[in-house]
Amino acid sequence: MTNITNTSQLNTFSLIRDILLTNTTISARFSKGDFYEYEPRLKNTGVRLPHIVIKFPETSTELISINNVMTEKTFEITILLKMDWEARSKAQDYSNAMMHAIELAESTFEASGYYNAKLELMTLDDEVEDMKTLVVGQFILKLEGSVLRE
């Protein structure tokens, strides 16, 4: 099993983005430039809809370490699908595609040291941002991994 290094344990953005882009429904509409690690302001030029935000992971650490070399951690990553209200009919298609891509990527996650990947849809609702009505899907991706302590 691959272990996660303590200097790369929070580097999940490109891994998740690349997994999502393996899905044909996602890759037909989204490019690498449509993914953000931090939420962009819609008023900024160049920010397009739809886009996907893969936030910085939150972690929780097990108190038990494995022979003082590794620590078990859970990583929780919020993923937001943001789209224009007029395109809301595609929200279900993109949401299903995101879930499908994550479910098929078990070996990719394991090769990077993460396991037990679970993607849950928390909400799919409308909200107003920068005076624009959006449809926003909020997903929580949970991963587990053994982090090398040294």
The list of the chain residues with pLDDT below 70 reads 1, 45, 63-67, 150
Distance (Å) of CA 82 to CA 21, 32, 55? 16, 15, 13
For the chain, the C-alpha Rg in angstroms (whole number) is 16
State the DSSP string of 44-112: STT--SSEEEEPPPEEEEEEEEETTTEEEEEEEEEEEEEEEGGGGGGHHHHHHHHHHHHHHTHHHHHHT
Query: How far is the C-alpha of 80 from the C-alpha of 150, rounded, in Å?
Result: 33
Model confidence pLDDT, tens digit, residues 84-125: 988 889 999 999 999 999 999 999 999 999 999 999 999 999
Query: How far is the C-alpha of 19 from the C-alpha of 107, rounded, in Å?
Result: 11
For tokens 């996660």, what's the residue? Answer: 4
Please, are residues 65 and 71 in contact by the beta-carbon 8 Å criterion? yes
Alpha carbon of residue 49 to chain centroid? 17
Tokens of 136: 């926003």
CA angle at residue 79 from 72 to 42, to 5 degrees?
A: 145
Domains and CATH numbers, the chain: 13-148 (3.30.70.1700)
pLDDT at 137: 95
pLDDT at 41: 83
Q: What is the pTM of this model?
A: 0.90
Task: Break the chain down into helix, strand, coil percent, rounded to 5.
Answer: 30, 45, 30
